[in-house]
Amino acid sequence: MSERRRFERFAVADPWDGSVTVLRDVFVRIDDSDALTVTSLAAAPVGETVRLQVSGGGAEGNLCVQVLESRPVVLSGVVRHAVRLSAVYSPSSEREALAGARDIR
């Protein structure tokens, strides 16, 4: 007869804390009010601050933006989300502003 352990061998004393960053490809366009509108497969909560990484024409950049509006749209028969963004300007350095933002790509 096998003498297997019948008690837990591992227990977490303190709960772990963490976060997950989900990167998404989006299409970006600038509308008449100088706000950015991105088209994404996922919605975004209004008021959330996110980091938008943009690239094109051989250049890359990061923008710290806030979600103004998120609404579903149908493009080519597929439901997507149009997310309106506004650049966040803060007296703190750009690096500090970007550190607290969630990634969106």
Written as tens digits, the pLDDT of the chain (105 aa) is: 566 666 666 666 777 777 677 778 888 888 777 788 999 999 999 998 888 888 878 888 888 899 999 999 999 999 999 999 998 865 444 445 445 555 555
Say what the alpha-carbon torsion angle 55, 56, 61, 67 is, to the nearest 10 degrees: -60
**For position 84, what pLDDT does the model report?**
93
**For position 91, what pLDDT does the model report?**
46
**For position 98, what pLDDT does the model report?**
45
Nearest Cα neighbor of 31 from 2, 61, 3, 69 is 69
Checking DSSP bridges between strand 27-30 and strand 36-40, what pairing results, if any? antiparallel
Q: Considering the entire predicted model, what is its pTM?
A: 0.63
Distance CA 59, CA 67 (A): 24
